[in-house]
Amino acid sequence: QQQVKQSPQSLIVQKGGISIINCAYENTAFDYFPWYQQFPGKGPALLIAIRPDVSEKKEGRFTISFNKSAKQFSLHIMDSQPGDSATYFCAASIEGSQGNLIFGKGTKLSVKP
């Protein structure tokens, strides 16, 4: 049973456009929702994260929107750039899980110049 469902699998966006990646979860005990960015040949790196007590968090061009009632959260990349081309993973975690993260399957983003 997949605990965190991520879509789409792949995404092609033109430079300057908005990239949107969605994730859904079932376990209401999750209380921490990070997004990781991974470039080819590299390990994932934390990009931005949100907790359920807020509906939106913005850091630069990256925004997480969180809908607690729908059990969904999404990553928006504004003014997408070719340098944003990477694989993005959403994840979820439960407090007290000693750092254990449940990852989505990932979305490969390509930003065309």
- Closer CB to another protein, residue 41 or residue 113? 41
The residue within the footprint of another protein, chosen from 63, 104, 109, 111 (CB under 8 A), is 104
Q: How far is the CB of 113 from another protein (least distance, A)?
A: 26
Residues 59-98 contacting another protein, CB under 8 A: 89, 93, 95, 97-98
37 touching another protein, by CB under 8 A = no
CB 22 within 8 A of CB 71: no
Residue 84, SS3 per DSSP: helix
Query: Residue 82, Cβ neighbours under 10 Å: how many?
Result: 10
The residue within the footprint of another protein, chosen from 25, 62, 80, 106 (CB under 8 A), is 106
